[in-house]
């Protein structure tokens, strides 16, 4: 698409299909059926743009098939109302420390693309990508590269605006001149790539998927792009806002819109609910990392949907749709016993514990288990609805697990039901037998 003045409407996601271990696996083993199903999940979530990593090695293995698969993806996503931002350059050959590879396993030799004499290889790759999808209406903009900036092992850049807390992660390189030379070797390639893409395709918008906002000025790319892009996985609201302030200043200086096209990571203290609320405050479009919880290495710390369409955490779904937890003084704590349901649940549990303890019923294993689990579910639903319990493994998930067992341990279930009763008594401040005059 032509450059837009505003990308604040973008609610996007990074995408690796649930069956793929990584993006090379994605493109080498492309599956239209999975892509179609998972774009359907994104559509249901109200998401409207996909960011995909183009695997250069998959292209080298079979350029024509790669083009066909890429075209199918863009068209399939667009059929669900989802635009695409393809990342052109990512991975080893586009990074300073890449060890050049000899020809093997059907692949040609792969040199460092950052050497100016090899720039033409990147140009040829883009030309084929452009041929495949450059005229597709679902193409939103070209993402020239994913996190191209050179840094220390813990992603420290030592650029002037880098916050001090980042410098605690790695010592300053002894040879800063060599370090800066590697950084500049990347930016020189990125500026070349922008120029080539612009010459080949003067219509569609482009940007660079920078790791940090404070890399943009040193890269000297802001005047060359249509949209200013940054990633953010910072740990507190202040840290996130401080980087957003840099982007706000850059946007005003260059009169260009801003997009964050990677954010949200559970193991980096960067929850979806926090990050997306702040991006909304600044009016920045976003791409969460990532849509699917599948086979990739990120599955324990990223992702919204499982392959069957269930979700890890409904609060993430709310956040991507623009709804955030009330953390202010107007928040009203839940009272799950306002109509006496906690009393009734405790009464049912007490009666069930007594009934299933009758030795004349010992042969009724399955029936006893279901009675106990029914009573447990009554309490579990109250505890979960009132947000009284951690939801990493919610009580209802444990109940479902017991119900799947052919021979559940009745003593274990009885003990747990007793614990649930005590927990409900405590949160609802209930004394005595659980009698109630409730209208229920």
- Nearest to residue 90, comparing CAs of 220, 262, 240? 262
d(CA 57, CA 105): 11
- Nearest to residue 202, comparing CAs of 104, 257, 135? 135
Instruction: Indicate the average pLDDT of the chain.
Output: 97
Return the beta strands (E) in 97-174 as ranges.
141-146
**Which residues is 145 bridged to in the sheet?**
89
Q: What is the pTM of this model?
A: 0.94
What value, to the nearest 5°, has the Cα angle with vertex 193 and ends 256 and 59? 120
Structure tokens at 180: 């800066």
State which residues of the chain have pLDDT below 50: 437, 439-440
d(CA 314, CA 308): 15
CA distances from 211 to 35, 132, 156, 234, 309 (A): 27, 28, 10, 11, 30
d(CA 206, CA 226): 6
Specify whether the CB–CB gap between 173 and 97 falls below 8 A.
no
pLDDT at 281: 98
Give 284-320 pLDDT, tens digit per residue.
Answer: 999 999 999 999 999 999 999 999 999 999 999 999 9
pLDDT at 440: 45
β-strand pairing of 83-89 with 49-53: parallel
Helices (H), 220-308: 237-254, 272-282
d(CA 70, CA 365): 55
**Secondary structure letter of residue 288 according to DSSP:** E
d(CA 67, CA 84): 15
pLDDT at 185: 98
- Nearest to residue 87, comparing CAs of 139, 123, 138, 52? 52
pLDDT at 434: 54
């Amino acid at each position: 698409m032509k450059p837009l003045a505003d990308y604040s409407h973008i609610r996007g996601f990074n995408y690796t299909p649930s069956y793929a271990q990584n993006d090379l696996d994605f493109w080498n083993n492309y599956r239209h059926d999975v892509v179609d199903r998972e774009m359907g999940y994104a559509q249901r979530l109200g998401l409207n743009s996909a960011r995909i990593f183009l695997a250069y090695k998959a292209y080298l293995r079979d350029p024509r098939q790669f083009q066909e698969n890429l075209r199918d993806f863009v068209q399939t996503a667009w059929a669900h109302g989802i635009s695409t931002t393809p990342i052109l350059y990512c991975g080893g050959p586009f990074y300073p420390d890449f060890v050049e590879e000899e020809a093997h396993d059907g692949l040609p030799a792969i040199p460092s693309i950052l050497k100016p004499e090899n720039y033409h290889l990147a140009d040829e790759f883009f030309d084929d990508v452009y041929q495949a999808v450059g005229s597709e209406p679902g193409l939103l903009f070209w993402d020239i590269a994913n996190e191209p900036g050179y840094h220390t092992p813990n992603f420290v850049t030592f650029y002037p605006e880098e916050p001090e807390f980042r410098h605690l992660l790695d010592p300053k390189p002894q040879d800063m001149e060599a370090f800066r030379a590697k950084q500049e070797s990347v930016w020189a390639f990125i500026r070349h790539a922008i120029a080539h893409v612009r010459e080949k395709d003067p219509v569609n918008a482009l940007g660079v998927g920078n790791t940090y906002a404070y890399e943009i000025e040193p890269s000297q790319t802001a005047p060359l792009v249509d949209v200013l892009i940054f990633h953010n996985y910072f740990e507190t609201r202040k840290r996130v806002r401080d980087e957003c302030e840099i982007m706000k200043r850059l946007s005003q200086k260059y009169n260009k819109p801003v997009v964050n096209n990677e954010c949200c990571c559970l193991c980096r203290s960067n929850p979806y609910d926090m990050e997306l609320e702040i991006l909304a405050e600044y009016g920045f479009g976003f791409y969460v990392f990532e849509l699917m919880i599948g086979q990739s290495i990120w599955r324990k710390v990223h992702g919204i949907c499982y392959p069957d369409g269930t979700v890890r955490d409904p609060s993430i779904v709310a956040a991507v749709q623009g709804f955030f937890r009330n953390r202010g003084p107007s928040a009203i704590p839940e009272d799950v016993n306002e109509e006496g349901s906690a009393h009734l649940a405790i009464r049912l549990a007490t009666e069930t514990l007594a009934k299933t303890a009758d030795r004349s019923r010992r042969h009724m294993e399955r029936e006893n288990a279901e009675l106990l689990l029914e009573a447990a579910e009554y309490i579990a639903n109250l505890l979960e609805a009132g947000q009284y319990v951690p939801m990493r493994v919610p009580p209802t998930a444990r109940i479902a697990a017991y119900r799947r067992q052919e021979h559940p341990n009745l003593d274990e279930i009885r003990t747990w039901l007793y614990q649930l009763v005590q927990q409900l008594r405590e949160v609802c401040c209930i004394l005595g037998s659980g009698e109630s005059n409730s209208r229920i």
